[in-house]
């Protein structure tokens, strides 16, 4: 069951939003209430990605909201992008993942590093949801350390020959294109666009996940795939290419995780006011109030962090380390709230009638992907000491 959604705004952050922000947020919130909340538990239980949402997200403008309109985007600011992510993740992290990957990991690199022809060819179709993309950085032997990747391209004159494998790739089984990162003969990381249907390119699905069950995850396998030269990004070399994409996606996750936390808090608050034990609503007991008060405090701090990060991003001043801190803090905050709020519901909290277990399981992926909790801590450590402790 789901309660009416009373999104917490304890420090009146709405006063800082423009009318445009509120219109964008309200459109996504209504769609999530109408199209996601009624189906998402069953989709997750069945381990099925609701494919229809891709077209619907395209129609809503949730793909590439900050990409200029001439390429099919909505030309909005980064606070709008953040608010969209919050609303989508209130529905499920899988829904936000789809929009994150399409926007930050596929459209962003094509827009930032691509040729004019690549932009015109792919961006409008990706924005409308007529085309789906995925992002291949992680490999079976290299997750936190993508700089050691083994996937290779070889210049063959008319084309590049691509060999290697990527793993844990969101949307790979259903994607039409993949933005892939591989090293050239000089060991330099390059980015390219691989298209489904190219000989030697396959994308098997990953099974048996307990997390993000309403999301498609798979591999990317390249066996002597001929990549036309026009599919290479000419304007970027080195690991900073994929890491710049991750900055954008991690920024979105810092906002998105707040949506999952708010859904859990909202459910726990309303349940605790209704549920009686010892002839009183459980909300009247101090121990339950402590949980609720601390949850709201943490949500409020995360909202303030995200909002300030958004203003820095709009001014092109958000540093990668600031983004790491916000992603790390807000995802952990959401995971803790999913666990605490689940306890407020007692046994009912473990059922699919309420969203906590689903959010909790999803957030175990969110705290791992886009850089693990530990890696983001080390990024902060590096930033404040000037010493990289990765190796």
Which stretch in 133-141, 260-268, 309-317, 339-347 sits in contact with ligand FAD by CB under 6 A?
Answer: 133-141
Nearer Cβ to ligand TGC (205/240): 240
Q: Judge contact between 220 and 134, C-beta under 8 A.
A: yes
Q: Which of 95, 30, 34, 93 is nearest to 63 (CA)?
A: 95
Q: Is 139 in the site for ligand TGC (CB under 6 A)?
A: no
Q: Which of 368, 367, 380 is nearest to 261 (CA)?
A: 367
Q: Pick from ligand TGC, ligand FAD, none: which does 247 bind, CB < 5 to 8 A by kind? A: ligand TGC
Among 112, 144, 300, 382, binds ligand FAD (CB under 6 A): 144
Among 8, 124, 147, 381, binds ligand TGC (CB under 6 A): 147
Which stretch in 2-10, 32-40, 95-103, 122-130 sits in contact with ligand TGC by CB under 6 A?
Answer: 95-103
Among 101, 214, 262, 292, binds ligand FAD (CB under 6 A): 101
Q: Residue 33 carries which DSSP code?
A: I
Q: Pick from ligand TGC, ligand FAD, none: which does 136 bind, CB < 5 to 8 A by kind? A: ligand FAD
Q: Judge contact between 131 and 176, C-beta under 8 A.
A: yes
From residue 302 to residue 331, the character string flagging contacts with ligand TGC as x (rule: CB under 6 A) and all else as - is ------------------x-----------
Minimum CB separation of residue 42 from ligand TGC in Å reads 21
Query: Residue 387 contacts by C-beta under 8 Å, 6 or more apart in sequence?
Result: 381
Q: Is 222 in the site for ligand FAD (CB under 6 A)?
A: no
Alpha-carbon gap, residue 310 to 81, rounded angstroms: 9
Among 84, 177, 246, 254, binds ligand TGC (CB under 6 A): 246
Nearer Cβ to ligand TGC (242/349): 242
Among 80, 118, 138, 211, binds ligand TGC (CB under 6 A): 138
Q: Is 139 a catalytic residue?
A: no
Nearer Cβ to ligand FAD (84/169): 169
How many residues in the chain? 391
Nearer Cβ to ligand FAD (20/374): 374
Alpha-carbon gap, residue 376 to 320, rounded angstroms: 10
Alpha-carbon gap, residue 298 to 202, rounded angstroms: 43
Q: How buried is 161 (Cβ within 10 angstroms: 0-12 exposed, 13-18 middle, 19+ buried)?
A: middle
Alpha-carbon gap, residue 274 to 191, rounded angstroms: 54
Minimum CB separation of residue 238 from ligand TGC in Å reads 4
Minimum CB separation of residue 3 from ligand TGC in Å reads 27
H helix count then E strand count, the chain:
12, 9
Percent of the chain that is helix, strand, coil (3-state, to 5) = 55, 15, 30
Q: Judge contact between 106 and 249, C-beta under 8 A.
A: no
Q: Is 170 in the site for ligand FAD (CB under 6 A)?
A: yes
Minimum CB separation of residue 208 from ligand FAD in Å reads 12
Which member of 216, 219, 298, 370 is catalytic? 370
**Where in the sequence numbering do the catalytic residues fall?**
370
């Amino acid at each position: 069951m789901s309660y009416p959604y009373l999104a917490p705004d304890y420090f009146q952050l709405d006063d800082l939003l423009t009318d445009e922000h509120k219109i964008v947020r309200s459109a996504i919130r209504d769609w999530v209430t109408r199209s996601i909340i009624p189906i998402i538990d069953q989709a997750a239980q069945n381990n099925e990605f609701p494919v229809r949402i891709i077209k619907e997200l395209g129609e809503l403008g949730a793909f590439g909201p900050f990409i200029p309109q001439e390429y099919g985007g909505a030309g909005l600011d980064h606070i709008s992008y953040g608010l969209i992510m919050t609303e989508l993740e209130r529905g499920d992290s899988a829904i936000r993942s789809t929009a994150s990957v399409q926007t930050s990991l596929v459209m962003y690199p094509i827009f930032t590093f691509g040729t004019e022809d690549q932009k015109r060819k792919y961006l409008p179709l990706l924005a409308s949801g007529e085309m789906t993309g995925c992002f291949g950085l992680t490999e079976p032997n290299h997750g936190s350390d993508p700089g050691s990747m083994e996937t290779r391209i070889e210049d063959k004159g008319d084309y590049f020959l691509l060999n290697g494998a990527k793993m844990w790739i969101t949307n790979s089984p259903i994607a039409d294109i993949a933005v892939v990162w591989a090293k050239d003969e000089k060991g330099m990381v390059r980015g390219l666009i691989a298209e489904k249907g190219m000989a030697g390119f396959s994308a098997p699905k990953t099974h048996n996940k307990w997390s993000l069950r309403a999301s498609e995850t798979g591999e990317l396998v390249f066996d002597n795939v001929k990549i036309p030269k026009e599919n290479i990004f000419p304007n970027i070399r080195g690991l900073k290419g994929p890491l710049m994409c991750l900055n954008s996606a991690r920024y979105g996750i810092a906002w998105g995780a707040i949506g999952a936390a708010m859904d859990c808090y909202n459910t726990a608050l309303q349940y605790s006011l209704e549920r009686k034990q010892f002839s009183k609503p459980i909300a009247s007991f101090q121990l339950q109030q402590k949980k609720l008060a601390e949850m709201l405090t943490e949500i409020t701090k995360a909202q303030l962090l995200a909002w300030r990060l958004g203003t820095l991003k709009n001014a092109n001043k958000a540093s990668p380390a600031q983004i790491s801190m916000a992603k790390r803090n807000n995802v952990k905050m959401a995971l803790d709230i999913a666990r605490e709020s689940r306890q407020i519901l007692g046994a009912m909290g473990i059922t699919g009638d309420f969203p906590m277990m689903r959010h909790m399981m999803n957030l175990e992926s969110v705290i791992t992907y886009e850089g693990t909790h530990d890696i983001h801590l080390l990024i902060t450590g590096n930033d404040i000491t000037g010493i990289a402790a990765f190796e």
